[in-house]
C-alpha cells in the first residue's frame, strides 16, 4: 500500500524510477505566504548531484528541478507544490545484463518477490536517485524554518573516524572538501582511502552525523510519534542506512544514570546534553544530534557470482558509474530528511494547546 | 496532533496515564475470524509486569487486561478490539513532591513546554506504563502471525555483553532467569551487577536484541515505509531508547562491499545475512535481527539537584519503586512492537500485486 | 481496514458492540488546556438516550460516560481522552431468534459476507448504539468551539414538513417537545403521527436540519477535503442516513446562476446565502446549513418474511423496543458530528499560512 | 493541512493550478501487474475535455496525459504512477481584471481569507481543471475493476428531468448526444435549454445519476468509513456539488419501513433495492445508484456587481469561455470518483478476514 509519502502536515509524496522519464514529487501542506527561493533548492540539489567530484559516481545528471504549481509570484500559496526532475541518463540499453539477475544485497530479488514485476533499469524505484526529490522538499522545509540550523557531515569512512566533538568543529569547513568532513586532515585521509577503495573496484561504508541548532522547544508528539522516533524512521528510510542513534546513543547504554542525567541550569537549559536535545520525545531547546550508519555500496566493480530469477548461478560485474562510498553525497539527504521531520513537527505543534 | 496510534492496517491507539483510573487501547483492523487466546495475552503482560522479580520495580500492579469488544465467541469479529487495564496503584499523594519539579532527563519540562499543563503523577502519559497496552496488542499480533517467531533478549547490561552470535544461543533459556539473557553465566553476572547498581541508588543502561524467524518474504513498503525504517521507529518510540541498528548495523559501516554483500544460494536464500533479512526495505525471508539501545533509567534513589517550574534550584530524591535497569522488562515490549510492525506489513502486503 | 476513526487532528476512534460489555472511545488530538465540563457531556448524552420520551425506544440504558484519561484537574492535558459507557442491557438471550437470520435492510447479511463472522446480538457493531460515543466526543468539540453555535432539529417526519426558513424559528423551542421540532404545532402533528405509526408496528423516515452559526472564516481544505465534503461524509456515516444537501442543495440544481449567486456586501458578508456558508470548500463566515435524510427504521414490530444464512425462507418478527422514527434521537448525533468536523478543520486551519 | 489526496490504499494526490505550467498527480498503491491501457485513459480525459461540443466551454486544452513512472512494459509495477497534463492555455493576461476582485459565489474571497494569498489566474487551484487528474486516476481504477461497470449520466438540467428508472434506459445512448442523457428526446430538450441559457449569458444547474453494476459484495468499512459515506464525500468534493443521495435518498424519508425494507430472495439478492446496494455501509451485490446535485456555474456572461479585496464595490463581467451548465462534462468526473472509491474499498477489503 502507499509508502511513498512522508510527513503528516508538511507532506512529501515522491514518484519516479532511476531510468524512467522523470522523478518528482508533491509537497502538500506547506503553509501559504512562504517566500521560496528556488535557487537555494537547486544549490542543495547540486550538493547531492552525481559527478560533483572525483570520489562520487560520474553518471551525468544535471538534476534540474522544475516547479509546476503551488508557488505564485515567489510565494507558496498553500496549495500543493508539484515538481519534476527529468532523467537525462535514461537509456535502457546498459541494463540488459541485469534484467534477469539478482544482484547481491540489492533489492532486485525482494522487489520481484513482493511485486512479481519490476523496472530493472538501474534499480528502478529502489535506486537512491529518488532521494533527489527529498532534497527538493527538505530545502523548502529549511526555508520554512529559517531560524533552525541543520548541519550534517561525514563522521567516519570505514575505520577512519572524526574524533572531535561537534562543538569543536568549524562547520564552514564541510563544503571545502569533497568528503564533507569538517576537519581538513581527516577529510584528506578519508578522500585518499575512498580513492584506494575505488581503485580496487570495492566500496566502503561510513557514518554521517547531523546537528540541529536553534531548535524550538516543545516539538514532538508522544507516544508513538516521539521526535527521535520519526527522525530515526526518516534516516532509516534513506538507501543503505543500517542504524541510527541520537544523543548518547549506543554508548549511553554503558553509562550509569548518575552520569547520564542532564542537570538543569536555572534558565532551563541543561549543563550536559546526553539527551541529545529530546526528552520524552519532545525537544527541550538544546542541540539535537544523531549518527546515521551507511553500509558499503552493494554495486562493486568486481566480478561477483550470483543467481538469476530461475535460481541459476550466473556471474556478473558492475558496470556504469557508481559511488565507492555513499556518505559524501548522503550529507544533503540527511539534512533534507531532518528538515522535513522538524518542519512537520513544527506545524503539528501549532495545535498542541489552546 | 494525534500521536497515540501505531500501524496503518493493524492499528493500535492507546490512552492512559500512569496514575489515572486506567490505561487501555483500541486495536482497529485485526482481520475477522482470528481465534484469540486471551490467556496468552495475559502471559505476555505478566512478563512485563512490575514486581515479577527482585531486580525490577516493586510497584504493585496486577496488570489484568479486560477486553470490552471485538472478540465474540473466541474469535475476532473484524471490529475494534477495545481493552482496559485498571491502575491499582493510583494514589496521587506520593507525587506531590514532584508536582512542580522538573526531574533531570525526564519529560516533565518538555511536557510543560509543549502543553502548558501536565498530569505530574508518576510521569503521567510519559510513563512507560503505557507500554503495557503495546504488549496487549503485540500479543494479538503474534497470534495473527502464528508461523513467525519473535524472540527478544537482553544482550548487554552496562559494559557486560553477551558475546555469542544469536545462532549459538538456546532461546528457551531466556525466561529462566530474571535478566532475560539466554546464557546462564552472563545472566548471572548481569543480575549481580544490577543488584549492585540498585544498592547504590543508581541505574544502568543496556541493549535488547530481537530476532524474527520464519519471516514471510516480500513484506515492506518502499520508499519511506521501508520495513526496517518502521521497525526502527517502533523501537525508538519505546521509553528510554536511544538507538537502533539492524543487520550489520554500525559495525557494517567499517566493512567493504566485497565483505558485506550477501551472496545467494540457488534456493534464493543467502549464504551470509549481513543484510539482516531486509533488502531495499523488503524482507527476503532470512532472519531479521536488530539491536535496541536503552539509556540508564533517569529516576535515581539518590539526591539530585534540579529546578522547579519557576527556574529555582531545588533538591529532590527519587521515591517509590523504580527499575534499576529497564532492559529485562523491555524484552516483551520489544517483541510486541516487532510483532505489531510485522503484522501491519503482512496485511499491507495483501494489496501489493494483482 | 481501520474505519473506526474520524478526524485528522481532533480524532475520535470508537469501539464497542450493542450488547458487549461496554462501548467507548479515544479522543486524540484535543488541545491541552481546555476546561472540560463533563456534566455538559452527560447532558448531550441524555438527549440521545433511549427511554427519554414516549416516542423513542424504551430500552433501559443509563448511558453514563466515565472518563479514564486525558483530563486532569478539570482540563485537557493534550493526551488521549479515553472513555467508556457500560452497557446495562447486555443480555444475549433476547437475540437467539436472529442469530442465524438476515433481517431485511439491516447489516446482518453484509457483515457476514464481509467478515464471515458477526456479533449478532442487537446488531453488534452495526447498531446505532455506537453513536453515543460520537455524542461524547462532539460535546467536547463544542466546548473547544465556544463561540460557534450548533443547532439541529427535526425538519420533517414522513410527509409532514416544517415549512419555515430557519431564520424564522425559535431554536429554544427545540427541546420543549419530544420530536425536537422548533414549531410547537408541527411538532405536535409529528408526535401524533409517530405514535400512530408505532401503533401499527411500522416505522417512518424523516429529515434533520442543522445550522452552524458564528462560523469562523477560512475553515476547509481544498481539494478533496472540502468542508462540505467532510460534513457530508460525517452525516452519511450516521446509521440510516440516505442523503445530504447543503445550502441550496437539490433545489439549487433547478436555479439559474443569475438567481443563485450570492452577492457581497461591502463588509464581505453576502446578501443571500444559497452557498450555505461555504465557497470552494472553505467557510465564508455566513451560516452553514444542511439537511440530512434518514430512512425509516428497518426493524418493524410486524411479521416479515426473510431468509437465514443458508438461504432458507424464515419468518421473523421484531422484538424488543425499537424507535418508530429515528430523527428525534438523531438530533444530538447530527450536532455532534457537525461539531467534530468543525473542530477538526478549526485545528487544521492553524497551519494554513505563516 | 494536506487535503489534496484521496483514498487510503489506491491513493491519488493531485497538484496544479488552472493557469500554471501543468496539473498532475501521483497514484500510489495501485497493485503491481495491472495491464494499463493508456489510450483508455486518454479517452476518458477526452470526455471531460473543454471544447468537445457546442454546449461546453470553448477553452482550448488538448488535455494530453503523460505518464512519468510506475508503468513499465505496459504494466503497473506497484510503485507510484506519476503523471502530468500540461496547460496549453496558461496566459495570465486575461485574468488581470479579476486579480483583486471577489467574484460572487466563487472561492476568491475564501481562499484569500484562508491563505492570505492566491493564484488568481482562472481560479487557480479552485478551478475544476483539477478534476482532469481525477479522471486519469479513475480511469486506471476502472481498469483494476474490470468486472464492475460504472455508468453516469445526466438526469436533470434545471427543471428538465429524465423521468425513467435507470433500469429502463439504454446506457449506450449516453455518449450519442452532447448532454450525456440516455434518452434522445429528453437530451434534445436539455441541449436546447442549455443553448438558450447560454445565449442569455446565464447558467443552470442539474443532476448526474451514477449506477454501479456487478458490484463485489462485502465492500465498505464500518463505522465512519461506510461505503456510501465515502462515495458521498467523493461526490461532494467535485466542484459545484451541493448534494448527494443514494438508494431511496430524500424520497425515502417519506416512506414507511414496511414499504422501504428490501426483502431477500433465497439467492440472497433482494426483491427491491431501495437500499441502493449498500446495507450498514457495506455492499450487498445489488446495483449501487446515487444522485449528485450540481449548482449553476457561478461565472456568468453578464454584468454583476461585486466587491474587491478592500471591500469596495466594483462591476465585473465574465470573460473567456465558460460552461453554461456543468453536468455534461461532470459525467466522466462522477464516474472517475466512483471508481476511485470502489477500487480503494476493493483493496481495503483484502484485509477484512483471515
- Chain C residue closest to A32 (CA)? C353
Residues of D in contact with A69 (CB under 8 A): 15-17, 20-23, 125
Q: Which of B189, B232, D9 is closest to A224 using CA atoms?
A: B232
Is 70 exceeded by the pLDDT of residue B291?
yes
C254 is in an annotated binding site: no
**Neighbors of chain B by Cβ distance (3+ pairs < 8 Å):** A, C, D
Burial class (CB in 10 A: 0-12, 13-18, 19+), B54: exposed
pLDDT value at residue A256 = 97
Show Cβ contacts of residue D41 under 8 Å, excluding neighbours closer than 6 positions.
D65, D136, D139, D140
Q: How far apart are CA D224 and CA C2, in angstroms?
A: 10
CA distance A29 to chain C (A): 8
pLDDT at D106 over 90: yes
Q: Is A273 on the interface with B (CB under 8 A)?
A: no
- pLDDT tens digits, B206-238: 999 999 999 999 999 999 999 999 999 999 999
Instruction: Report how far apart, in Å, the C-alpha atoms of A239 and of each of A297, A326, B289, C144, D9 are.
Output: 10, 9, 18, 44, 24
Cβ distance C9 to A79 less than 8 Å, yes or no, reads: no
What order of strands is seen across the sheet that includes strand B5-6? B5-6, B11-15, B22-28, B81-86, B65-67
Q: At a CB cut-off of 8 Å and minimum separation 6, what does C117 contact?
A: B32, B33, B72, B75, B77, B78, D353
- Chain A: closest CA distance from residue B32 (Å): 20
Using an 8 Å CB-CB cutoff, list chain B residues near A203.
256-258
- Indicate if the pLDDT at residue D74 is higher than 70: yes
CA–CA gap between residue A17 and residue A125 (Å, rounded): 4
Contacts D354 to B, Cβ<8 Å: 31-34
pLDDT of residue B172 exceeding 90, the answer is yes
Q: Residue D300 in contact with residue D170, Cβ under 8 Å?
A: no
Cα–Cα distance measured from residue A55 to residue D135, given in angstroms and rounded to the nearest whole number: 46
User: Is the CB of A270 inside 8 Å of chain B's CB atoms?
Assistant: yes
SS3 C298: coil
List, as one string, the DSSP characters of D140-200: HHHHHTTT-EEEEEEEEETTEE--S-GGG--GGGGGGSTT--SSHHHHHHHHHHHHHHHHT
Question: Alpha-carbon distance B14 to C79, whole Å?
Answer: 10
| Predicted local confidence at residue A55, as pLDDT | 87
Residue D322, pLDDT above cutoff 90: no
The pLDDT value recorded for residue B96 is: 73
Residues of B in contact with A265 (CB under 8 A): 307
Supply the pLDDT for residue C94: 63
Taking one residue from B and the other from D, the number of pairs with CB-CB distance under 8 angstroms is: 36
Q: Does the annotation place C79 within a ligand binding site? A: no
Q: D241 forms bridges with which residues in the sheet?
A: D294
Within 10 angstroms of residue A334's Cβ, the number of other Cβ atoms is 28
Beta-carbon separation of D15 and A26 below 8 A: yes
CB within 8 Å of A168: residues ≥ 6 apart: none
Q: What are the C-alpha distances in Å from B75 to residues B37, B70, C3, C86?
A: 9, 8, 19, 21
What is the mean pLDDT of the segment spanning D29-34?
Answer: 98
- How close B243 comes to chain C (CA, Å)? 25
CB contact under 8 A, B15 and C68: yes
What is d(CA A284, CA A275) in angstroms, rounded to the nearest whole number? 9
First-to-last alpha carbon distance for chain B, in angstroms, is 36
Question: Based on the number of CB atoms within 10 Å of its own CB, is B152 exposed (0-12), middle (13-18) or buried (19 or more)?
Answer: buried
Contacts of A53 (CB under 8 A, 6+ apart): A178, A328
Contact assignment for C78 to B124 by CB distance below 8 Å: no
Binding site annotation covers A299?
A: yes
Q: Is D2 on the interface with B (CB under 8 A)?
A: no
The D residues from 59 to 78 touching A (CB cutoff 8 Å) are: 66-70, 72, 75-78
As to burial, measured by CB atoms within 10 angstroms (0-12 exposed, 13-18 middle, 19+ buried), residue D30 is buried
The kind and range of the H/E element at B338 are: helix B327-348
Task: Give the pLDDT score at B90.
Answer: 63
Cα distance between residue A242 and residue B229, in whole Å: 9
pLDDT (0 to 100) of residue C93: 61
Q: 449506450: which residue's cell?
A: D172
Q: What confidence tens digit (pLDDT) does each residue in D83-103 have? A: 999 998 766 566 777 788 999
DSSP C167-221: GG--GGGGGGSTT--SSHHHHHHHHHHHHHHHHTT--B-EEEEEEEESPPTT---
| β-bridge partners, B204 | A256
Is the Cβ pair A354, C32 closer than 8 Å? yes
**Residue of B223, B296, B302 lying closest to A3 (CB–CB):** B223
Q: Quick check: D351 and B351 CB within 8 A?
A: yes
Q: Please state, in angstroms and rounded to a whole number, the distance separating the CA atoms of residues B176 and C210.
A: 63
Measure the CA–CA gap between A12 and A6, rounded to whole angstroms.
5
Return mean pLDDT, chain D: 95
Burial of B308 from C-beta contacts in 10 A (0-12 / 13-18 / 19+)? middle
Q: How far apart are CA B230 and CA B213, in angstroms?
A: 18
pLDDT band at C318 (very low <50, low <70, confident <90, very high): confident
Instruction: Give, in order, the Cα–Cα distances in Å from B271 to each of A295, A312, B261.
Output: 18, 15, 10
C-alpha grid cell, residue D158: 434545471
Is residue B283 within 8 Å of residue B342, measured between CB atoms?
no
User: D75 with D34: CB under 8 angstroms?
Assistant: yes
How many CA atoms lie within 13 Å of B175's alpha carbon, on the beta-carbon side? 9
Over pLDDT 90: what percentage of chain D? 89
C297 labeled binding residue? yes
**D209: pLDDT strictly greater than 60:** yes
Res C92 pLDDT > 60: no
Q: Is residue A237 within 8 Å of B229, Cβ to Cβ?
A: yes
**Inter-chain CB proximity C26 and B13 less than 8 Å:** yes
With a CB cutoff of 8 Å and minimum separation 6, the contacts of A3 are: B221, B222, B223, B224, B225, B226, D28
The CA–CA distances, whole Å, from B295 to A256, C73, C118 equal 8, 32, 46
Task: For residue B236, give the 3-state DSSP assignment.
Answer: helix
Count of helices and strands (H, E) across chain A: 8, 17
What is the pLDDT averaged over residues D293-315?
A: 94
Q: Could you give the CA distance from residue D204 to residue D183 in angstroms, rounded to a whole number?
A: 20
**H helix or E strand, kind and range, residue C27:** strand C22-28
Q: Is A203 an interface residue toward B (CB < 8 Å)?
A: yes
- B207, B253, B260 member nearest A253 (Cβ): B207
d(CA D49, CA D62): 7
Contacting residues for C189 by C-beta, under 8 A, at least 6 apart: C160
Chain B: residue whose CA lies nearest to D143: B354
- List the grid coordinates of B245: 541498528
Across-strand partners of A102?
Answer: A307
- pLDDT above 80 for C320: no
DSSP annotation of D264 reads B
DSSP letter at B352? S
Q: Which chains, if any, share at least 3 CB pairs under 8 A with chain C?
A: A, B, D
How many residues are listed for chain C in this entry? 354
Residue C278: strand pairing partners: C283
Residue in D20, D82, D119 nearest the CB of A24: D82
- pLDDT for B91 equals 62
ipTM for this model: 0.97
Distance CA A97, CA A93 (A): 9
C-beta atoms of A31 and C353 within 8 A? yes
Interface test with B, best of C5, C9, C13 (most B CBs within 10 A): C13
| Residues 112-171 of chain B whose Cβ lies under 8 A from any Cβ of chain C | 114-119, 124-125
Which residues of chain A are under the pLDDT cut of 50?
none
| Cβ contact D287:D308 at 8 Å | no
8 Å CB contact between A295 and A240: yes
Cα torsion angle, D196, D201, D202, D207, sign: positive
Q: Categorize the per-residue pLDDT at C58 as very low, low, confident or very high, splitting at 50, 70 and 90.
A: confident
**Does C347 or C318 have the greater pLDDT score?**
C347
Domains of chain B and any CATH numbers: 5-351 (3.60.150.10)
The pLDDT of residue B289 is above 70: yes
Q: Is B76 annotated as a binding residue?
A: no
Q: Are C248 and C274 in contact (CB under 8 A)?
A: yes
Q: CB-side exposure of A75: number of CA atoms within 13 Å?
A: 14
Q: Residue B23: its pLDDT value, please?
A: 97
What DSSP state is assigned to residue A49?
-
Amino acid at each position: 500500500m502507499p509508502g511513498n509519502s512522508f510527513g503528516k502536515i508538511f507532506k512529501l509524496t515522491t514518484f519516479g524510477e532511476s531510468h524512467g522519464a522523470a522523478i518528482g514529487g508533491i509537497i502538500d501542506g506547506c503553509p501559504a505566504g512562504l517566500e521560496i527561493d528556488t535557487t537555494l533548492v537547486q544549490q542543495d540539489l547540486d550538493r547531492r548531484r552525481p559527478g560533483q567530484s572525483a570520489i562520487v559516481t560520474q553518471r551525468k545528471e544535471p538534476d534540474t528541478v522544475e516547479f509546476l504549481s503551488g508557488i505564485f509570484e515567489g510565494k507558496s500559496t498553500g496549495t500543493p507544490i508539484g515538481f519534476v526532475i527529468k532523467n537525462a541518463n535514461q537509456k535502457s540499453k546498459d541494463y540488459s545484463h541485469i534484467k534477469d539477475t539478482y544482484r547481491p544485497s540489492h533489492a532486485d530479488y525482494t522487489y520481484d518477490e513482493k511485486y512479481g514485476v519490476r523496472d530493472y533499469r538501474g534499480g528502478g524505484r529502489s535506486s537512491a536517485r529518488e532521494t533527489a526529490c527529498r532534497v527538493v522538499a527538505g530545502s523548502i522545509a529549511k526555508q520554512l524554518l529559517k531560524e533552525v540550523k541543520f548541519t550534517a557531515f561525514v563522521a567516519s569512512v570505514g575505520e577512519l573516524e572524526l574524533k572531535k566533538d561537534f562543538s569543536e568543529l568549524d562547520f564552514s569547513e564541510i563544503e571545502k572538501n569533497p568528503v564533507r568532513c569538517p576537519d581538513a586532515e581527516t577529510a584528506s585521509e578519508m578522500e585518499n582511502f575512498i580513492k584506494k577503495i575505488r581503485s580496487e573496484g570495492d566500496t566502503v561504508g561510513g557514518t554521517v552525523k547531523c546537528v540541529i541548532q536553534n531548535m524550538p522547544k516543545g516539538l514532538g508528539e508522544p507516544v508513538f510519534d516521539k521526535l527521535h522516533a520519526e527522525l530515526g524512521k526518516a534516516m532509516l528510510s534513506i538507501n543503505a542506512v543500517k542504524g541510527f542513534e541520537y544523543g548518547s546513543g549506543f554508548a549511553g547504554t554503558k553509562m550509569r544514570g548518575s552520569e547520564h542525567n542532564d542537570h538543569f541550569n536555572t534558565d532551563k537549559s541543561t549543563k550536559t546534553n546526553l539527551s541529545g536535545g529530546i526528552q520524552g520525545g519532545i525537544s527541550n531547546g538544546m542541540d539535537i544530534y544523531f549518527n546515521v550508519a551507511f553500509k558499503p555500496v552493494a554495486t562493486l566493480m568486481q566480478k561477483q557470482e550470483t543467481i538469476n530469477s530461475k535460481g541459476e548461478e550466473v556471474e556478473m560485474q558492475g558496470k556504469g558509474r557508481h559511488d565507492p562510498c555513499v556518505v559524501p553525497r548522503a550529507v544533503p539527504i540527511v539534512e533534507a530528511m531532518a528538515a522535513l521531520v522538524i518542519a512537520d513537527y513544527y506545524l503539528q505543534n501549532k495545535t498542541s494547546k489552546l
